Amino acid sequence: VVLDLPEGMEASYAEVSLPRYRRVFTLSKELDPEKVVADFNHGVLKLRIPKAESAQPSRIEVKVA
């Protein structure tokens, strides 16, 4: 690409490297690391970390006589 520059001006460029961001954390034993879903959209990171089957609430049927 050739740029038409006014007299006395010089073209220059710079490469900017973006820093990487890393965050590490430990999940509770109640969470299932095998079912983690991550979505990065418009600069927003969404994590969905479901509870493990063993940590899900259980239903107890109550019969009324």
Asked if residue 1 belongs to a domain, the reply is no
CB within 8 Å of 30: residues ≥ 6 apart? 51, 52, 55
> Residue 46: what pLDDT?
94
Asked if residue 12 belongs to a domain, the reply is no
pTM above 0.85, yes or no: no
Classify the phi-psi angles of 8: left when phi > 0, otherwise alpha if psi is within -120 to 50, otherwise beta: left
Number of domains in the chain: 1
* Domain around 52: 29-56
For each of the chain's 65 residues, which pLDDT tens digit applies? 566 778 888 877 777 777 787 888 888 888 998 999 999 998 898 999 998 888 777 888 999 98
Structure tokens at 27: 């999940």
Asked if residue 3 belongs to a domain, the reply is no
